Structure 1
Amino acid sequence: MLPKFSRLLAVTAMSLMLPSAYAELTINHALGTTTLPEPAVRIVTLYQGATDAAIALGIEPVGAVESWVEKPIYQYLRGELDYTTLVGLETQPNLEAIAALQPDVIIASEVRHAKVYDQLSQIAPTVAHETVFMFDETLELVAEVTGKADAADAWLAQWQADADAFQADIAEQLQDDWPQQVTMLNFRADHARIYFQGFSGQVLADLGFERPADHLKDTWGMKLTSKESIPSMNADVAFVFMEDDDAVQQTYQQWTAHPLWQTLDAVQNDAVYRVDQVAWNMAGGPLAARQMLQDIRSHYGLD
């Protein structure tokens, strides 16, 4: 019989020759091609939508960036990230903190992390989405690197079913007035904004809303510095988000007190709705998209 140590070496050698239980993963993404030996377990998420998507798939990241507001973690995710280490800001992740976590994969975005991609890739295999707001594609990316494709497919199928149900319900309620044209408005301390694209734009499009013709532009939106621009906000329905800040609230009061505000179709339709800035703009993930759907159903009295 072989000595104990020799038997151990033999077993180890045989195990190295056995095929892996998982096939090697090759992921094509915004910043290149990344190979993983097997689905990742320890993941670090470097933008809000990726953190949201991970939780939607039942994965708690070992590391994640801080939230934009409600710091350090959005309230709707508190309780889901109890063991997650914060690794700096989305715009400036802490590379040393990320390295200390020894992740299997880092999930980044081209728009935020292109300049540090090589450094991130030296820490661990890194994949990136082009943007930070395409919640369905982010969900698929997180699922691809973690071997959760079936769970992502199921989530997206349910999302489509719920979006279809909403469109059926709202069409029955509004009849010839559906589909409606929608505008997303944001007020700041010294100006207002109309958002044409982005996270909320994608969700609203999924739900069947349309945009006014002059909002169909290949840009994020427009900044309004004069109240004379209020007519450009016109749509059947308006969703408004803003910070809970005195200066911002003052801007909102001043703009909505202007005579031109009263000419907007949404105002005349009593269809101007205040919404949560986190769920509607800052979170960017599938769980936030579902919160948007719930909010919209509530605003239309469909619950």
Structure 2
Amino acid sequence: MRNCLLTWGLLAVLTVMSLALGGCGSHAASGSKSTALFDPAVVRADTPEAIDAELAARFEKTKKAADKMFAEEEGHLVIAHKYGKTILPEQPQRIAVIGLEDTAVSLDIPIAAEHLTKSSYLYPLMKDKGIANIPINAETKTINLEAVQQAKPDLILMRDSYDKNAYNALSKIAPVVALDLQKEEVTALAAARAVGQPQKGEARLHAYYGRVKQARMAIKGNIGDATVAFLRVMQKEIRLYPYSANATNRFMYELLNLRPDPMVVALDKTKNNLAISMESLPDLQADYLVISSGYGASSAGSKEAAAKRYEELRKDPLWQTLPAVREGHMLDVDSIIWNAHGLIAKEMAIQDLVDWLGSGNSERESE
């Protein structure tokens, strides 16, 4: 496997591009202190015992973070979130879901209405459930409040990337719990407790960690400490993300223990998403490349433009200089899934990686 040295001169050719928060496909860096759990310079073991110990500690830390959101006040369970505090009803039976569909579906809680489109990766799981749809304008993120009201919910689960105006409007219909979907593990525990079924959240998270353990052992047993990088090809640029300040990279490097390219680690100092120039692209010496060309489910037009940009990129002589390209170590992934957040989306991404890196077929570029 190739090793590379990243000099400070490389950073001079990177163009800093901030990506605004919000939306299911957001990969924005927050600009806040790193939330990395692990030092990328430290090689962690992938034995069953080491993974079990690591995930047990992760579960305790996640549970502590979720528990911290709850308190008993005047005999009622109350949850604190981005927009304030919500007094929770006991055992809600009609739950409206806005932006937290992945969480709700993964927990198998009673959903009265949710926003779901045919382009969603959740659609095959939900199309025959008879659940009412909540229309949402993808461009303005305007929620159809009448549809929510018609569902007669006794609790509303809302992703906190919707603004406070949306929260206030929904609060006139039913109690609202606003949660951060990018922190899907904490959100799974918090949502389950909020609907009066905490055991479902803990069981679901343990099952998720079981998938993670199997994936780590399969992948690392096949590729060892080879480096992996995630590239996002967009309509007008190619994006590389920081090691710890980006949700997809934290998932790959912290949870799955894949080894980051030094270029990715260096970007962590900026805490911003960076558009890299074609001239600097050959400095990315990762042994394997995961490539997403496009956007989320609500941006079909932009997705097509990104796909066209990727086709052009593949013909560029500079692209052909990348070690992963020369070796055929590339995986083209579904941008809708890889730009999403939630346990189901992450399990789909895990399966992509296992099929590619854990099966001994990583020499073949994905079709």
TM interval, shorter chain, is 0.7 to 0.9
Q: CA deviation at 1:104?
A: 1.4
**Residue 93 of structure 1 aligns to a residue in which SS?**
coil
**Residue 228 of structure 1 aligns to a residue in which SS?**
coil
User: Are the aligned partners of 1:227 and 1:255 in contact in 2 as well (CA < 8 Å)?
Assistant: no
User: Are the aligned partners of 1:43 and 1:62 in contact in 2 as well (CA < 8 Å)?
Assistant: yes
Aligned equivalent of 2:146? 96
Q: For the structure 1 residues 151 and 220, does the alpha-carbon distance in structure 2 shift closer, same or farther, using more than 3 Å as the test?
A: farther
d(CA) in 2 for partners of 1:80 and 1:286?
Answer: 21
2:168 is the counterpart of 1:122: no
d(CA) in 2 for partners of 1:140 and 1:220?
Answer: 29
Deviation string, structure 1 residues 6-53 (Cα, Å, up to 9, x no partner): xxxxxxxxxxxxxxxxx7321122222211130322112211xx2111
d(CA) in 1 for partners of 2:98 and 2:175?
Answer: 13
User: Are the aligned partners of 2:145 and 2:170 in contact in 1 as well (CA < 8 Å)?
Assistant: yes
d(CA) in 2 for partners of 1:92 and 1:182?
Answer: 38
User: Are the aligned partners of 1:166 and 1:297 in contact in 2 as well (CA < 8 Å)?
Assistant: yes
Q: CA deviation at 1:61?
A: 2.1
Deviation string, structure 1 residues 111-161 (Cα, Å, up to 9, x no partner): 2233322222222111112x3322212212321211221111112112222
Q: For the structure 1 residues 170 and 302, does the alpha-carbon distance in structure 2 shift closer, same or farther, using more than 3 Å as the test?
A: same
Once the two structures are overlaid, the 10-residue window that deviates more, 161-170 or 116-125, is 161-170
2:319 is the counterpart of 1:270: no
Q: For the structure 1 residues 146 and 233, does the alpha-carbon distance in structure 2 shift closer, same or farther, using more than 3 Å as the test?
A: farther
Once the two structures are overlaid, the 10-residue window that deviates more, 287-296 or 252-261, is 252-261
Consecutive unaligned residues of structure 1, counting only runs of 5 or more, are 1-22
Aligned equivalent of 2:192? 143
Structure number with greater Rg is 1
d(CA) in 2 for partners of 1:286 and 1:77?
Answer: 14
Q: Match for 1:155 among 190, 200, 204?
A: 204
Aligned equivalent of 2:90? 38
Q: For the structure 1 residues 246 and 95, does the alpha-carbon distance in structure 2 shift closer, same or farther, using more than 3 Å as the test?
A: closer
**Residue 26 of structure 1 aligns to a residue in which SS?**
strand
TM norm structure 2: 0.66
Q: Look up the equivalent residue of 1:285 and give its one-letter code.
A: G
Q: Look up the equivalent residue of 2:133 and give its one-letter code.
A: T
Deviation string, structure 1 residues 181-213 (Cα, Å, up to 9, x no partner): 332222223222224454433431311124332
Q: For the structure 1 residues 219 and 93, does the alpha-carbon distance in structure 2 shift closer, same or farther, using more than 3 Å as the test?
A: farther
Question: Highest relative contact order (Cα 8 Å, sep 6+), 1 or 2?
Answer: 2
d(CA) in 2 for partners of 1:246 and 1:160?
Answer: 35
2:237 is the counterpart of 1:191: yes
User: Are the aligned partners of 1:190 and 1:251 in contact in 2 as well (CA < 8 Å)?
Assistant: yes
Q: For the structure 1 residues 39 and 231, does the alpha-carbon distance in structure 2 shift closer, same or farther, using more than 3 Å as the test?
A: farther
Q: For the structure 1 residues 218 and 121, does the alpha-carbon distance in structure 2 shift closer, same or farther, using more than 3 Å as the test?
A: farther
Aligned equivalent of 1:231? 282
Q: For the structure 1 residues 232 and 140, does the alpha-carbon distance in structure 2 shift closer, same or farther, using more than 3 Å as the test?
A: farther
User: Are the aligned partners of 1:27 and 1:127 in contact in 2 as well (CA < 8 Å)?
Assistant: yes
Q: Look up the equivalent residue of 2:251 and give its one-letter code.
A: V
User: Are the aligned partners of 2:228 and 2:289 in contact in 1 as well (CA < 8 Å)?
Assistant: yes
Q: Look up the equivalent residue of 2:291 and give its one-letter code.
A: V
Count of paired positions: 271
d(CA) in 2 for partners of 1:158 and 1:54?
Answer: 16
User: Are the aligned partners of 1:195 and 1:221 in contact in 2 as well (CA < 8 Å)?
Assistant: yes
Q: Look up the equivalent residue of 2:189 and give its one-letter code.
A: E
2:274 is the counterpart of 1:216: no
Q: CA deviation at 1:60?
A: 4.6
Q: For the structure 1 residues 218 and 102, does the alpha-carbon distance in structure 2 shift closer, same or farther, using more than 3 Å as the test?
A: farther
Q: Look up the equivalent residue of 1:184 and give its one-letter code.
A: F
Deviation string, structure 1 residues 208-242 (Cα, Å, up to 9, x no partner): 12433223256462234x42242365423211122
d(CA) in 2 for partners of 1:173 and 1:94?
Answer: 48
d(CA) in 2 for partners of 1:39 and 1:198?
Answer: 35
Aligned equivalent of 2:161? 111
% identity of equivalent residues: 25
Consecutive unaligned residues of structure 2, counting only runs of 5 or more, are 1-74, 295-299, 361-367
2:219 is the counterpart of 1:170: yes
Q: For the structure 1 residues 95 and 198, does the alpha-carbon distance in structure 2 shift closer, same or farther, using more than 3 Å as the test?
A: farther
Deviation string, structure 1 residues 167-190 (Cα, Å, up to 9, x no partner): 22333323xx42x43322222232
Q: For the structure 1 residues 123 and 199, does the alpha-carbon distance in structure 2 shift closer, same or farther, using more than 3 Å as the test?
A: same
**Residue 287 of structure 1 aligns to a residue in which SS?**
helix
d(CA) in 1 for partners of 2:337 and 2:124?
Answer: 9
User: Are the aligned partners of 2:132 and 2:151 in contact in 1 as well (CA < 8 Å)?
Assistant: no
